[in-house]
Structure 1
Amino acid sequence: MALIAVGPGFALPEEDLEFRYKRSTGPGGQHVNKTDSAVELRFRVQTCPALGSEIRERLCRIARKRISREGVLIIHAQRFRSQERNREDALERLAELLREAERPPAPRIPMRPTRASRERRLSGKKARGQRKQGRGRMRFPTDDG
């Protein structure tokens, strides 16, 4: 079983990666119509034993538009004229997705106050208002009237 290094300290089994080559629509001059320089990297996310369940779930969430129904992540690379550079580009993009999936999500920062905290604030304001209202002048019932 051969391993392909995707990042520092992270390698994937070669049988989980499949490379397909096709003609590129990008630059290449006369050469472009004769060679298959574009690369399609297909990575089986669901069956890869190297991925943990949390990383697999985050990867599926991050790259959901690039994952087929069968659970295969598809990366198209055709930026360069050479097939080898496109292959390296596809592997680097896969590595970047995996690095992003490895990082745990940032904790949620609550933005709006909860209903209970709003009610506590309002009841405190009402209590302070009543306390201050009691500090006014004392009015006694008059005998005049």
Structure 2
Amino acid sequence: MDQEQLLKELNFKAVKSSGPGGQHVNKTASKVELQFDVWESSGISEEEKIRVLKKLKSRLTKENILILQSDESRSQHKNKELVSQRFLIILKNALKKPKIRKKTRPSKASKMKRLKKKKINSEKKAYRKNPLK
């Protein structure tokens, strides 16, 4: 994964932000929308593209474009930085390889410990019963 190449491939669009802000909010486009086309990217390999498509399936459009938005700040530049950082974090998490699960069996000592506890518990409950008349 080449971060500089990925950042060059991002498309940014400034949009009018919603929410409070007074008179100034109607004139400025401070909300930043980031678009990233997974298939057209040259910053990640084919194998990585497949992994990203699989992991981020719910976040992608039908054209396999990832869209992120940020309107946390009143500054367009700050929102651009925030959405870029969030994009890199999301992409890094999507590219992580899952750990391979190793099959294990319980040890003989753990089996014996479990059976001993079961025996003690059953005896405890047996003592609660009334003796036969």
> Does TM, normalized by the shorter one, top 0.5?
yes
Do 2:36 and 2:66's aligned partners in 1 also have CA atoms closer than 8 Å? yes
Superposed counterparts of 1:17-96, under 5 Å: 17-96=10-89
* Percent of residue pairs identical: 34
Structure 2 segments unaligned to the other structure (5+ residues): 105-133
Paired residues of 1:26 and 1:78 also in contact (CA < 8 A): no
Relative to 1, partners in 2 of residues 1:39 and 1:84: Cα closer, same or farther, differing over 3 Å?
same
* Alignment partner of 1:99 is 2:92: yes
**RMSD value, Cα:** 2.5
Structure 2 vs 1, CA of residues 9 and 50 (structure 1 numbering), >3 Å: closer, same or farther? closer
Q: CA deviation at 1:106?
A: 2.0
Residue identity in the other structure for 2:55: I
Aligned residues: 105
TM-score (ref. length: structure 2): 0.67
Higher helix share: 2
1:38-84 alpha-carbon deviations (Å, 9 max, x no partner): 11100111111111122212222232222111121111111111111
**Deviation readout 1:63-114 (Å, 9 max, x if unpaired):** 2222111121111111111111111111011100121123211223569xxx
Question: Which aligned pairs between 1:101-116 and structure 2 lie closer than 5 A?
Answer: 101-108=94-101
TM-score normalised according to structure 1 size? 0.62
